[in-house]
Amino acid sequence: AKSTGRGQVKFFNNTMRKKLKTHADIENDLQHGIEHNEFELYFQPIFTINSSEVIGFEALVRWHHPKKGFVPPNDFIPIAETTGQIINLDLHLLDLAAQHISKWHKQGHRFLKVTVNVSSRHFASLDFVAQIHSIYNKYQLPLGSLCLEITESGLIENLELATHIIEGLSPLKVKLCLDDFGTGYSALGYLHQLPIHILKIDKSFIDHLQDSTNPLVEAILSLAQSLQLEVVAEGIETQEQLAILKLTACNYGQGYLKSKPVTASQAIKLINKPL
Ligand code: C2E
Ligand code: CA
Ligand code: CA
Ligand code: CA
């Protein structure tokens, strides 16, 4: 037993030991995985609510682990965040995403946008702006082709820094999307101070759209409208949810109803025709 102070005693049981071992395993395997190209980006279409036209994709990582097989992001992203490896992983995935963007734009998909998830720890790191500029240069990315998704907490903890970073990215026309909106701090008061461009309404709110619009979703949409932000609804699973969203000012959607995340080659086939 391990004392945690205040008279609490925590037992270091087998489950915990196993968890720790998995954690250490993953930490060791992550670096190896980056070096050996075990990560693949899948792409989930983002479409217009009104006509289901694909305007871009969210890149979502998949890990093909040599021994464990498929490992979902929720099993390793949080660990990479604690160990700090997330910065290397993010950079590796940004590089992969840029390769796809560059190829797709050369194939003539000129207006396609790809949004990449960036951990707040990486976003707030000293070199972030320079790193994004260098990826743009390396792949000669078209202005405005890359969008970055960050969760609320990362931006709000250091508003001044966030503003500085977003300004540093503005020559590249990189758009900033606030992910999982409504779940974290929900510090609505800060929203007008953040130079972001897109709000992504969290799936938990979309789940509640059953037979009518939801006051919370309406509130988020009217807030977004007054701040001139674009809105993406994530996790649309039913026709009913989509029909309700059509009655609102929500611009874009994403979810299993239209498409799960798919491989790059499957993704590109979804462009230029309504889903
Ligand atoms: P997220 O950024 O909120 O991504 C949305 C998650 O919801 C994805 O899970 C996606 O596959 C899933 N999803 C999309 N539509 C639906 C739907 O209609 N129904 C349901 N039930 N789920 C849907 P995924 O790919 O497992 O990713 C989980 C989380 O892992 C992401 O949440 C994100 O936080 C993180 N993540 C994924 N890829 C990356 C990455 O490349 N870099 C970083 N830093 N984080 C990533
Ligand atoms: Ca996301
Ligand atoms: Ca999300
Ligand atoms: Ca999420």
- Model confidence pLDDT, tens digit, residues 113-165: 999 999 999 999 989 999 999 999 999 999 999 999 998 777 777 888 889 99
Ligand nearest to the CA of 46: 1
Q: In sequence order, what are the residues at sequence separation of 6 or more whose Cβ sits closer than 8 angstroms to the Cβ of residue 121?
A: 81, 84, 86, 87, 154
Can you tell me which atom of ligand 1 is nearest the CA of 41?
41
Confidence class for position 251, pLDDT limits 50, 70, 90 = very high
b/e map of 81-118 (b: 16 or more CB within 10 Å)?
beeebbbbbbbbbbebbbebbbebbeeebeebbbbbbb
Q: Tokens 């992910």 correspond to what residue?
A: 179
Q: Count other C-beta atoms under 10 Å from residue 212's C-beta.
A: 9
What is the torsion angle, in degrees rounded to the nearest 10, for the CA atoms of residue 209, residue 113, residue 155 and residue 40? 90
Residue in the block written with tokens 């049981």: 13
Residue 193 is predicted with a pLDDT of: 84
Please tell me if the CB atom of residue 61 comes closer than 6 angstroms to any atom of ligand 1: yes
Query: Which protein residue has the closest C-alpha to ligand 1 atom 43?
Result: 117
Q: Mean pLDDT lowest for which of 20-24, 59-63, 225-229, 244-248? A: 20-24
Task: Name the band, by pLDDT with cuts 50, 70 and 90, for residue 1.
Answer: very low
Rank 4-8, 15-19, 210-214 by mean pLDDT and report only the highest.
210-214
Q: What is the mean pLDDT of the chain?
A: 91
Ligand 1 midpoint to CA 60 (Å): 6
Residue 150: CB within 6 Å of ligand 1?
no
Rounded CA-CA distance 202/259 in Å is 17
- Look up residue 253 and give its two tokens: 């959607």
Ligand 4: centre distance to CA 261 (Å): 14
In 107-200, which ranges are continuous DSSP H helix? 120-123, 128-139, 152-156, 159-169, 188-191
Token pair, residue 152, equals: 């609320």
- How confident is the model at residue 157, as a pLDDT? 76
Record the pTM.
0.92
pLDDT for 23: 82
